[in-house]
Amino acid sequence: MATIIVLTNQKGGVGKTTTSTALATGLVSFYHKKVLAVDLDPQGNLGFSLGLDIEEGRTIHDVLTAKIPARAAIQQTDYCDVITSNILLSSAELDFNYSDRELRLKKALASVAPLYDYIIIDTPPALNILTVNAYALAHYLIIPMAPEILSLLAVTQIKETIDSVRESLNPHLDVLGILLTKYNKHTILAREVKEMAENIASQIGTCVFDTKIRPSVAVAEAPAHGISLFDYSPHAKPSRDYADFIKEILIMIRTNRLHRR
């Protein structure tokens, strides 16, 4: 059964989709895992970053509205399988008028989860029904955040949603950690935000990852070419950082599993 990792932050521009793409492609390229990437953001950037035309084919919206099974929406890329999204998903709050509205994604992916080692889910920059659906089936949350005060504020607001989901939908939801992106250790703001992020992490029972993702223009350029950051610029600082980050989270997940035995 797949390990399900959800990338979340209600603040946009924090590197959430970049991290989702790097995690999905890195697990395949470096560890030869079978990965399904699911885009829950109506902007559709995850599929685009992996070289897909998000206006072609069936999407997660078709799956969640029960028009097709999840298997029929899966598209293949050079790296991993993907279920794409597009602007139609922005009507989710209105479309999901079912009694099981918070569990639509969990039920939809149940049939394909055994086919994969990991399912990576990119969520919208909002705490809405799509985000709750992702939290409801996640084993782990990863919270990317930029070293900015507004990004920090967004992380504090996630706590209430996490607590609510743990109480009603997914008691085993585990926040794996907060990932600092666009991180320049030489700035005072970055160091101050890191300290505040560590305080917030302790409040939600998690940590700030040891790995920090440094900025580079390659992060913005790679999606335009539809290839992974690792292939586009393997020696760029964020490529090396994301490789270290993937190694770090795999160790953490392995350790968590040993403790639960």
Examine the pLDDT at 259 and tell me if it is beyond 70: no
**8 Å CB contact between 39 and 175:** no
What is the pTM assigned to this prediction? 0.95
Structure confidence by residue, pLDDT tens digits, 62-105: 999 999 999 999 999 999 999 999 998 998 877 777 778 999 99
> The tokens of 218 are what?
């390659």
Higher pLDDT, 158 or 240: 240
| pLDDT for the residue 57 | 87
| pLDDT for the residue 260 | 57
Report residue 157 CA to chain centroid gap. 17
**8 Å CB contact between 130 and 89:** yes
Q: Which domains, ranges and CATH numbers included, belong to the chain?
A: 3-260 (3.40.50.300)
> The tokens of 94 are what?
């209105």
Computed over every residue of the chain, the mean pLDDT equals 92
What average pLDDT does this structure show over 134-148? Answer: 94
